[in-house]
Chains A and B, each alone.
Chain A
């Protein structure tokens, strides 16, 4: 069915002929017949990665295949979303090994983007927990791979943006939990130096992330709130919650009903918002126990929050810089605050070591910020790209809608190896997206 689709940034949008499937043979027929399409799940990557004139939607291919409640091993079809998995595993004392800031993504998407979470420095990316998966290749056949068996296919699929084929089945390990609650600590940092020091001092925490105010200049440059968390034990819970330690939160949502006009979001309103957000924490340190829902998915409570950025959409700009490039981080943050663009809030996190074929994370600082699309934005982002490269960093393909191919090439040292695996498993560029064409990952 033809329809207009866009990913979470609402930029770009494109007309696409979308096909859904519920059974593997229907997918095999589609793959055999069609050309130049890309698999798409919930469309929560931000840019153009899962956009193409033809898309095959995995959302109906969403069955739970097995769940070993003793060993914590979960197996499902690729279109199952994390929000459906949590109510199944949490009551049995298990949690997702890695989760991004939204639960509205499919498992196929988690692999294709090799998503990371607040625990990257401890647990790595999603791919670190995948034991086995099936991929429907260009020949319509199912290829099973593991980190050791058909390893080239496996590692080119993790973070490979769907270019090796359609991921259809994933088996992964879960994380053991005693309760569904998080012991949370929030620390206020007056400036950038302090927040980076606090990250270092608190790296033993399983979960850590900071909200940073990108518009603040002068003494308070880089003021932030660091959010730390650990899965709570039963003893940590207040009396009323001890009887049902593994309760699943009800997950009530409110809807953002329409696109906000673009003028609403300007330097002034964002400054006010950031002031209030920073100011809401009166004390320097807050300790409390919260359900996993507000801790991991604060924005999921507002459906379609992306409409707040208006009809033209937004870019989420996310890069990582090596630890030794702290100066680079300072420079880039200065450029952003001088330009006065920027989002309500930007997210700062320190990644742990990782060195995979094409996955985004590597040890260092990662910053993600939403910027509404407007005139003059793209040239500015090109300038930022140059700085990111100069300081040894790179950009996240799942957030990208505009980088130039040379930025990808210079940021990912093993890109040639990745491309040669794509040529092996996707020789006719059957799996192809706007992004893969733009970045010369597939032929045009």
Chain B
């Protein structure tokens, strides 16, 4: 009985392992392919992209990137927008989460429901009025214009509210008996206790902001204000073009570096976030 159960378990473990490997390959293959393309000359790729499977390889595309591509400018734009949005979301979500979890004020529960309602509203539904509003306010082609819409995150407020609620009120009370002001209770006692949630929210916000394409495409119409996603897309003249493919891929790999670094260093928090704290 026990042996049978063990066999069954081993079999299911192996099936899961195979599925994980297949999924991993599906995820990684395009990145490896892009990396390979970026290491080939454009002339070779014009003839046949299968040349990526054999030598010679070159760093010429990366050198071209260094000496003459606007991708650095777009990279900086993306970095400013992503970091600005991440910091803004963390500050606002933490304050709002604390407020909803700990303060008592009229209409609190209704306001919280309204905030959660934001989870159900797709961006497509608000993009036109937002565009008109930002246009009238002259916020297009500015960093504020790129950052501001991303700060109102229902998910962030919800996550931080739930996290603050999970902290026993006795901790607040102990701090109050320790002569801490309300802000000290928030800043020095409770906020450090929410660091795991902050890390999760921060990483997700950063990744979302870095990968965002639609709003930067609408708001950043000036090439100087392109983010990497919009900028790289703008260099591709037509669909499935093969001219300059190696250079295009070098830009893409360069643009993806921060994302790869974030994934490598903050994997623990990403896993924790997607597993809902089950780890």
Q: Do A and B come from one complex?
A: no
